[in-house]
Structure 1
Amino acid sequence: MLYKKILRKARTVTRKTQFQFAIRHQLNSKWQSDCSCLALSQRHFFLFHTIHQACWVNQIPFPDLIAGQSFNDKIQWLKLFGQDSRMVALTDKLALKQIVGQRLGAGFVATTLSQGASYRDVDIASLPGQFVLKANHDSGSVYFVHNKNDFPAKHYESRLNRAISRTFGKSGGEWQYWPIPKQVFAEELLPFVGGAPPPDYKFHCSDGQVLWLQYIFDRGRHTKEVITDRDGKVMGLNFDQHMTSVFEFKRPANWQALLDVAEAMSRGFQYVRVDLYNLPGRIVVGEMTFTPLNGMYQSEGNIELGKLIHLDRTKVRDLVCAEFPGHTRRWPW
């Protein structure tokens, strides 16, 4: 595992170096071409460059910002032209809970048990025997504690403090993560199913309408996904290349209730993914994501599912991230 991480890090460094020296002319030409068709200005330089570098490092084709129909293309366009200040609070896992309460009422989020600026500020002694540790500002910093008296506390502390020491999403242009006030928090542990976390119902939505479902289960072992349409019919697609595709799905009895929650939370955005957990007698909103996998999918689903997002490229919004400290940077050549 460590060997693979070292190789990935070395590849990333190599690709970043190649980006700076090997394709300057190519990217400069693309910038000029895109400027002739899109509402790009000097204020977009840094984000435009960051997005294209991230694509290069991840060996993804440069996005077609003008007319691209893939999921990746549309996510990259939205990073530049679909910014909305509300996205920051909705991306913050703690702030989201308050918004969910305002929109849906009580009972739709996991209970927060303790929170603080670092792991040491979380009151472990006061917590129940089982809980979850998370960082509120990133993706992936989630640690399940099944026994408070026997878990790798120092290991979790190191990882969480490392997480809050960095600005997540900086290298990929995921601007909505950058200004989130970083915190570590503990929340209730939702019931596991067969030794795995409860399945994720990830509803991909556009302005209050579910477009498709990405159902993920057996997470952490041999993680699997099923892609269905709004009616729960399996579409026979792979979306996330890191997961095993399965082509069977049974709609739960409260399917309409799940749709109602996802659609209520997604209104007002050209695209957002709403993640839900369907528990006995209870629906829990986990998080909302505006740039899943940073728009770096390598699958047939990237093409086919992207077509379902009816992106209105005439709705160009101002750059919110231009006001963030450290955003403005000179063109790198």
Structure 2
Amino acid sequence: MEIKKIVKKMRKIKAFRSLELTVTRPIPSKQLMNIQYALSFKKNIDWENPKTFNEKLQYIKLFHRDDLYTVAADKIKVKNYIAEKIDESLVIPNLGIWNSFDEIKFDQLPNQFVLKTNHDYAGVYVCLDKSKMNIPKLRKMFTKHLKTNYFYPNREWAYKNIPPKIFAEKLLKDDVYEDIIDYKFFAFNGYVDSVMICTERFTGNPKFYFFNKEWELLPYNKDSIDAISEKKVIKEPYNMNKMFEIAAKLSENIPFVRVDLYNVNGHIYFGEMTFYPNGGYDNKLLPVTDLHYGELIDLKLVKKGK
């Protein structure tokens, strides 16, 4: 069976991630990107003249090599970077850093906290009550994450050379919103085009809305178009202009980065910097949005390396 059919078949299997790491790891990066892109968009990547957002993200994954990416993708090291480049007040305080799960001294942690791995995106556990933690289950989960190099599934180079660790940080709480809203800024070399927010995350049917700096809904996806037609009102958060400024500064000299920020009780906190959203396979964006974002990426900023 050809590789493309194998990958397509795995996507229908519940345990796809572990199978994917085993089967696709030997596949050359460019070949794997071609397969994954074709499965997502039903067309091929134009490597000679990439135009869309997702095409250019493939190009950046394959060719762009900047040590800053490794620092910024490391959820521990990036905190020092943010403190130096922007302000220490944006950094969510760490409560501990460990090389393995069994090093964690839970008796020294507060009753509520967030436990994360620094080198991937899914290694997260929100503890609301220490007495209810399932330690064996958590040990299995985090040990598995520590053994996984997140570069391989989608060939996202920024994650390739991060030494995996576990860390705990303070749990943020807002006096108004039960669910902390994540503001995701789409930034292109100092220019921030838009911010995406996610609501109704725990309903099983999350909604994603795009806004410009004037807090006007943008027709970038179906949810936003529906909200525009329904004249849906979503309250603009305090400090939005400041968040746009932070995202702009963090994106300087970078072809593209999505800067995630929180606004908790009027205080801005840094979340993360993401260089390849959805691995560059986001087919939920409208084609016109995919092309618009693509036009904003200047591939002349790409630093080619191995």
TM-score normalized with structure 1 length: 0.77
The 1:199/1:10 distance shift into structure 2, 3 A limit, reads closer
Q: Contact conserved, 2:40 with 2:283, CA < 8 A, in 1?
A: no
The 1:166/1:193 distance shift into structure 2, 3 A limit, reads farther
Q: Specify the code of the residue in structure 2 equivalent to 1:81.
A: F
Q: Specify the code of the residue in structure 1 equivalent to 2:45.
A: P
1:50 aligns with 2:32: yes
- 1:299 is aligned to 284
Structure 1 segments of 4 or more deviating over 4 A? 8-14, 56-60, 192-196, 243-247
Say which of 140, 143, 163 aligns to 2:125: 143
1:133 aligns with 2:106: no
- Percent identity reads 25
- 1:317 is aligned to 303
Q: Specify the code of the residue in structure 2 equivalent to 1:132.
A: V
1:258 aligns with 2:240: no
SS of match in other structure, 2:299: coil
Matches within 5 A, 1:148-187: 148-187=130-169
Q: Distance in 2 between matches of 1:12 and 1:160?
A: 14
Say which of 290, 294, 302 aligns to 2:275: 290
- 1:79 is aligned to 61
Q: Specify the code of the residue in structure 1 equivalent to 2:216.
A: K
Deviation at 1:156, TM superposition (A): 1.9
1:66 aligns with 2:48: yes
- 2:253 is aligned to 268
Q: Specify the code of the residue in structure 1 equivalent to 2:210.
A: I
Say which of 254, 262, 266 aligns to 1:281: 266
- 2:170 is aligned to 188
1:224 aligns with 2:211: no
Q: Contact conserved, 2:185 with 2:260, CA < 8 A, in 1?
A: yes
Q: Contact conserved, 1:200 with 1:275, CA < 8 A, in 2?
A: yes
SS of match in other structure, 1:93: coil
Deviation at 1:224, TM superposition (A): 1.9
SS of match in other structure, 2:102: helix
- Partner deviation per Cα, 1:221-254 (whole Å, 9 max, x = no partner): 33221111233210133279xx997554332231
- 2:6 is aligned to none
Q: Distance in 2 between matches of 1:158 and 1:244?
A: 42
Q: Distance in 2 between matches of 1:225 and 1:193?
A: 23
Deviation at 1:199, TM superposition (A): 0.6
Gaps of 5+ in 1: 21-44, 323-333
Q: Specify the code of the residue in structure 2 equivalent to 1:147.
A: D
Q: Distance in 1 between matches of 2:159 and 2:222?
A: 23
TM-score normalized with structure 2 length: 0.83
Q: Contact conserved, 1:94 with 1:136, CA < 8 A, in 2?
A: yes
The 1:193/1:282 distance shift into structure 2, 3 A limit, reads closer
RMSD: 3.1
Deviation at 1:318, TM superposition (A): 2.1
Deviates more, 1:306-315 or 1:207-216: 306-315
SS of match in other structure, 1:251: coil
The 1:187/1:315 distance shift into structure 2, 3 A limit, reads closer
The 1:128/1:316 distance shift into structure 2, 3 A limit, reads closer
- Partner deviation per Cα, 1:158-189 (whole Å, 9 max, x = no partner): 11110111111312110110110100111111
- Partner deviation per Cα, 1:250-301 (whole Å, 9 max, x = no partner): 3223111111111121111010000000011310011000000001111343
Aligned length: 289
- Partner deviation per Cα, 1:199-230 (whole Å, 9 max, x = no partner): 11000101111111111123243322111123
Q: Distance in 2 between matches of 1:306 and 1:120?
A: 47
- 2:91 is aligned to 109
- Partner deviation per Cα, 1:87-120 (whole Å, 9 max, x = no partner): 0010000011010110122220211101111111
SS of match in other structure, 2:219: coil
Q: Specify the code of the residue in structure 2 equivalent to 1:89.
A: V
The 1:165/1:300 distance shift into structure 2, 3 A limit, reads closer
Q: Distance in 2 between matches of 1:5 and 1:148?
A: 35
Q: Contact conserved, 1:55 with 1:296, CA < 8 A, in 2?
A: yes
Q: Contact conserved, 2:54 with 2:290, CA < 8 A, in 1?
A: no
Q: Contact conserved, 1:190 with 1:197, CA < 8 A, in 2?
A: no
